Amino acid sequence: MNGEAGRVVELRDVLVRYDGNVVLEDIDFDLSAGEIVAVVGPNGGGKSTLLKVILGIKNIEKGTVRVLGKPPSEARNDMGFLPQISTYKRSFPVTVLDVVLMGMYGRLGLFRRPKRREREKAMDTLGQVDMAQLASRPFKDLSGGQQQRVGIARALVSEPRLLLLDEPSTGVDVVAQESFYRLLEKFRGEKGISVVIVSHDVGMIAPVVDRVALLNRNIHYYGEPTGALAPAMLEKAFGAHVRLLVHDEHCLTCSRR
Amino acid sequence: MSGMLGLGFMQKAFLAGAIISIVLSLMSFFVVLRGMSFIGVGIAHSALGGIALGVLAGVDPRWTAIVFCVAVANLITYTSRKGALQEDAVIGIFFSLTMAAGIILIGLSKAYSVDLFGYLFGNILAVSNEDLWLAAGVGLLVLASAGVFFKELLMDSFDRELALASGIPVKSLDHLMASLIALTVVISVKLVGIVLASALLVIPGATALRLTARWQRMLGISLVAALLATFGGLSLAYFFDLAPGASIAVVSSALFFLSFLRKS
Ligand SMILES: Nc1ncnc2c1ncn2[C@@H]1O[C@H](COP(=O)(O)OP(=O)(O)OP(=O)(O)O)[C@@H](O)[C@H]1O
Ligand SMILES: [Mg+2]
């Protein structure tokens, strides 16, 4: 069952605990080359944990994880990661360009510093998210949405085959979100990159992805986006949380908080 | 001025001051960016235990202090990672335990010649050639180690999750930083003493961070702030007959408060 052609991520029967509490259970999850999928669920549902398992920075208690047919720790240089906002230190003295360069540290390895080639690549990637003009600005002076875009550039700069984005649209305005999804499409088309996007909001994300996974400790649904939007499905997966998850304008009973 | 610098012991004091300012300014850069101020204080105070062991065993206390401090630094790092305890509680416990043990041991040794006050607050006017060589050698080791892993340390300080995801061995970096802080403290003890070494592990970096949002400049400003504090403090001490270690710390703090004159 392993090594199926084009399989980028493969999780089988994964169990994860934090301090004894089960956070993820019976997780089967896979992703093919060039696929863009969304992982949706309520707060504490285990979305960020799932990304950390794929990255190999959270240990699993049971099951198997493969990325590009290898253990995650051996596939790190093929993954680009955007952490959920707020994990970095606010007043840290780095410029926008410094932050993007950090996306190449793993590839560079020990003892090698970013040189001109890396700088050019970083500037190029900043251009793709429309942030090149702010390259030399202190990162902390940017707005939240601008910081997210820089984070996306940092995740993309090493030309990963798998992109893991934890709530990339937090604080990003609608126009920027659309251009961001177009950017993902472009990368998929040109480089066959695969993407996992974590989101709170099924309504927003469903139209732009190939598949949706509904995650709340278990994966309750993984398939066509339309299927994930069915109220009965959402109710089953999330119970009372449904209202928080759907901001679709066609949903009459749901309101924007 | 030339009178002051014509004196052999003042020349040595300035040279020692220059060496440890360079090392302290780099360590202070990381201590501030990694939020390790309290770890620095804890490690610095454990030096007294190491010194006492040397005194009691009749060995050169500088060497026992190096071994002991590095060991305690790594123990603090390990315990705060493994234990259910908060890191600051762990540090508080080690800090008082090792310091108290040091004082008891020094008491037991009945060596009345032990200059406890000197170890706590420094005795820079008594810097020997051996002290200078030790400071230079250990200082170079610290600079080289931090330099080799600079980009990894920087990224880990910025965002640990990102560092982990890039395959950077962050636990090892924690132990490296703790060990380098320990070494820095030991070579600073002669100049400013244990109490003030822990202050100088924080103040130059904190001053620099107030003045810039670029790490390259922060490094530079931290270095200038440390050198100014050391040379300024030593000169004040010479001309007004003040305690040198304390003067250095006062000038260093004054620079920090001056940095508030610049609107952030
Ligand atoms: N470092 C940690 N230590 C202990 N428990 C943790 C840790 N990280 C996450 N958890 C727990 O694991 C569960 C899942 O957390 P996770 O961050 O994966 O949720 P999430 O779906 O990303 O939530 P959110 O939408 O709020 O980002 C939560 O119950 C959380 O309390
Ligand atoms: Mg999360």
Rounded-to-integer distance, Cα A45 and Cα A216, Å = 4
Identify all chain A residues contacting B155, using CB atoms and an 8 Å cutoff. 102, 105
The pLDDT tens digits of the residues spanning A48-101 come to 999 999 999 999 999 999 999 999 999 999 999 999 876 677 789 999 999 999
pLDDT at A246: 59
Ligand 1, atom 2: closest residue by C-alpha: A18
- Whole-number Å distance, alpha carbon B201 to ligand 1 midpoint, is 35
The reply to whether residue A83 touches residue B212, judged by beta carbons under 8 angstroms, is no
Candidate from A81, A89, A93 with C-beta closest to B165: A81
pLDDT at A181: 83
| Residues in Cβ contact with A152 at an 8 Å cutoff, skipping those fewer than 6 apart | A82, A129, A165, A168, A180, A183
The sheet carrying A7-18 orders its strands as: A21-32, A7-18, A62-67
Contact (CB, 8 A) for A245 and A200: yes
pLDDT at A192: 87
Nearest Cα to A106, choosing from A40, A41, A55?
A55
| Per-residue confidence band for A1, with pLDDT thresholds at 50, 70 and 90 | very low
The pLDDT tens digits of the residues spanning A227-237 come to 877 777 777 77
Q: How far is CA A73 from CA A18, A193, A196, B244, in A?
A: 20, 19, 18, 52
Tell which one of A16, A17, A18 to mutate to probe ligand 1, the residue whose CB is within 8 A of the most ligand atoms.
A18
- Look-up: residue for tokens 């560092």? B163
Contact (CB, 8 A) for A100 and A125: yes
Select the more confidently predicted residue: A244 or A40: A40
For the domain that residue A247 is a member of, what is the CATH number?
A: 3.40.50.300
Q: What domains does chain B contain, in order, with CATH numbers? A: 2-257 (1.10.3470.10)
Rounded-to-integer distance, Cα A162 and Cα A78, Å = 6
- Taken in order A101, A103, A104, A105, the sign of the CA dihedral is positive
Query: Residue range A168-187: average pLDDT?
Result: 79
The reply to whether residue A108 touches residue B158, judged by beta carbons under 8 angstroms, is no
Candidate from B154, B159, B215 with C-beta closest to A83: B159
**φ, ψ for residue B227, nearest 5 deg:** -65, -45
Domain total in chain A = 1
The pLDDT tens digits of the residues spanning B118-132 come to 888 888 888 899 999
- Whole-number Å distance, alpha carbon A105 to ligand 1 midpoint, is 27
Identify all chain B residues contacting A76, using CB atoms and an 8 Å cutoff. 165-167
The pLDDT tens digits of the residues spanning A180-216 come to 788 888 888 888 899 999 987 777 787 889 999 999 9
DSSP chain A: -TT-TTEEEEEEEEEEEETTEEEEEEEEEEEETT-EEEEE--TTSSHHHHHHHHHT-S--SEEEEEETTB-GGGSGGGEEEEPPTT-S-TT---BHHHHHHHTTHHHH-TT----HHHHHHHHHHHHHTT-GGGTTSBGGGS-HHHHHHHHHHHHHTT--SEEEEESTTTT--HHHHHHHHHHHHHHHHHH--EEEEEES-HHHHGGG-SEEEEEESEEEEEE-HHHHH-HHHHHHHHGGGHHHH---TT-SS----
Stretches where chain B sits below pLDDT 70 are 1-2, 84, 110-114, 263-264
CB interface of A with B, residues 44-83, below 8 Å: 52, 55, 57, 73, 76-77, 79, 81, 83
Ligand 1, atom 10: closest residue by C-alpha: A18
Q: How far is CA A257 from CA A131, A137, A254, B26, in A?
A: 31, 34, 9, 48
B185: number of Cβ within 10 Å = 31
* Domain residue limits at A139: 4-256
| DSSP state for residue B105 in the 8-state scheme | H
* Distance of alpha carbon B175 from the chain centroid: 16
B80-114: string of b/e by CB count within 10 Å (b at 16+)? beeeeeebeebbeebbeebbebbeebbeebeeeeb
pLDDT at A3: 46
Question: Which ligand 1 atom minimizes the distance to the CA of A200?
Answer: 25
What's the pTM?
Answer: 0.89
The reply to whether residue A93 touches residue B168, judged by beta carbons under 8 angstroms, is no
Instruction: Say whether residue B167 is in contact with chain A using an 8 A CB cutoff.
Output: yes
Rounded-to-integer distance, Cα A231 and Cα A229, Å = 6
Rounded-to-integer distance, Cα B112 and Cα A28, Å = 71
Complex ipTM: 0.88
The reply to whether residue A93 touches residue B213, judged by beta carbons under 8 angstroms, is yes
Q: How far is CA A31 from CA A195, A208, A224, in A?
A: 9, 16, 13
Rounded-to-integer distance, Cα A208 and Cα A196, Å = 12
* Distance of alpha carbon A169 from the chain centroid: 10
Rounded-to-integer distance, Cα A195 and Cα A160, Å = 10
Length of chain A: 257
The pLDDT tens digits of the residues spanning A3-28 come to 455 789 999 999 999 988 999 999 99
Nearest Cα to A7, choosing from A31, A42, A35?
A31
Question: How do A79-82 and A162-166 pair as beta strands?
Answer: parallel
Average pLDDT, chain A: 86
| Per-residue confidence band for A249, with pLDDT thresholds at 50, 70 and 90 | very low
pLDDT at A87: 66
The reply to whether residue B213 touches residue A140, judged by beta carbons under 8 angstroms, is yes
Report CA dihedral (A212, A215, A218, A224) to the nearest 10 degrees: -10
pLDDT at B83: 73
